[in-house]
């Protein structure tokens, strides 16, 4: 599903991370931890093709992300990825339901029932018609989560998805992500500083400036994941 080998990223002369390798298979729920500023969000952006690593290999669904042109990258993101951004990126001029419907519309498969189902699952079923400006931070975060899951993507990248939520809602959101992994065979890479969130994962990886610390950090040179 996802394979990184020897990934390096620097901004000008500042190396953010180097020698990052990992492999994630369908049906795996993997937590990514690491000190603030070590590059977890940057790594997710690189995986999604929103930022460019300086060197290394990055395979997603059998495709070498670094070799794709922007239209192919956009298609890959649209069809294969669900991304919960730290800053939500909820579109302010669209209602809650329209924000969540967006990934389905971009694939030409509008499905109001699915949108409502995911909104119910994140506890926003009664707020479908609201505009983002009328929501709390935690509610906005749940819109972002619903939007990342609505099209049943094979890979979910979630950047601190439970960060702004009360403990019960956070647990419910993590249940939902786990459900997507178990029921749909999706893979999930969850950036978190929360011990309890990380404890739900099949594996916990720690990003450091010199690479990924984990038992499987040296991903074997096998076929593209
Ligand atoms: N566009 C950019 N230009 C220059 N430096 C950047 C840019 N984006 C991020 N950085 C720097 O890269 C480093 C990694 O940032 P990143 O947001 O990926 O860290 P993080 O591990 O996700 O942090 P946190 O846990 O606090 O969210 C930081 O030092 C940050 O200041």
How much is the ipTM here? 0.96
Q: pLDDT tens digits for the chain (225 residues)?
A: 899 999 999 998 899 999 999 999 999 999 999 999 999 999 999 999 999 999 999 999 899 999 999 999 999 999 999 999 887 889 999 999 999 999 999 999 999 999 999 999 999 999 999 999 999 988 999 999 999 999 999 999 999 988 878 888 888 889 989 988 998 899 999 999 988 899 999 999 999 888 888 654 444 333 333
Ligand 1 centroid from CA 17, angstroms: 10
Atom of ligand 1 nearest to the CA of 44: 18
CA distance 97 to 90: 11
Residue 166 CB neighbour total at 10 angstroms: 10
What is the phi/psi pair of residue 183, to 5°? -80, -35
What residue owns the CA closest to ligand 1's atom 28? 37
Residue-range domain boundaries for the chain: 2-91+157-213
Atom of ligand 1 nearest to the CA of 207: 21
The HSE-up count of residue 33 (CA atoms within 13 Å, CB side) is 15
Query: Which residues have CB under 6 Å of ligand 1?
Result: 11, 16, 34, 36-42
CATH class of the domain comprising 2-91+157-213: alpha beta
Atom of ligand 1 nearest to the CA of 86: 27
Query: What one-character-per-residue DSSP string does 77-131 give?
Result: HHHHEEEE-TT----TTS-HHHHHHHHHHHTT---HHHHHHHHHHTT-GGGTT--
For residue 127, what are its two tokens? 């707020």
């Amino acid at each position: 599903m996802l394979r990184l080998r020897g990934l390096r990223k620097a901004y000008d002369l500042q190396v953010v991370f180097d020698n990052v390798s990992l492999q994630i298979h369908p049906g795996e729920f993997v937590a990514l931890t690491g000190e603030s500023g070590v590059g977890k969000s940057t790594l997710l952006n690189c995986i999604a093709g929103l930022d460019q690593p300086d060197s290394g290999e990055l395979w997603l669904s059998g495709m070498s992300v670094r070799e794709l042109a922007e239209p192919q990258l956009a298609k890959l993101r649209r069809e294969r990825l669900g991304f919960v951004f730290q800053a939500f990126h909820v579109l302010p001029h669209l209602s809650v339901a329209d924000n969540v419907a967006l990934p389905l519309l971009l694939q030409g498969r509008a499905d109001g029932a699915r949108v409502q189902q995911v909104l119910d699952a994140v506890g926003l079923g009664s707020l479908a018609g609201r505009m983002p400006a009328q929501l709390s931070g935690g509610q906005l975060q749940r819109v972002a989560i619903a939007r990342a899951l609505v099209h049943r993507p094979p890979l979910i990248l979630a950047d601190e998805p439970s960060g702004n939520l009360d403990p019960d809602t956070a647990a419910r959101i993590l249940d939902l992500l786990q459900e997507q992994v178990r029921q749909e065979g999706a893979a999930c890479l969850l950036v978190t500083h929360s011990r309890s969130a990380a404890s739900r994962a099949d594996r916990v990886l720690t990003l450091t400036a010199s690479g990924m610390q984990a038992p499987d950090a040296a991903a074997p040179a096998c076929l593209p994941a």
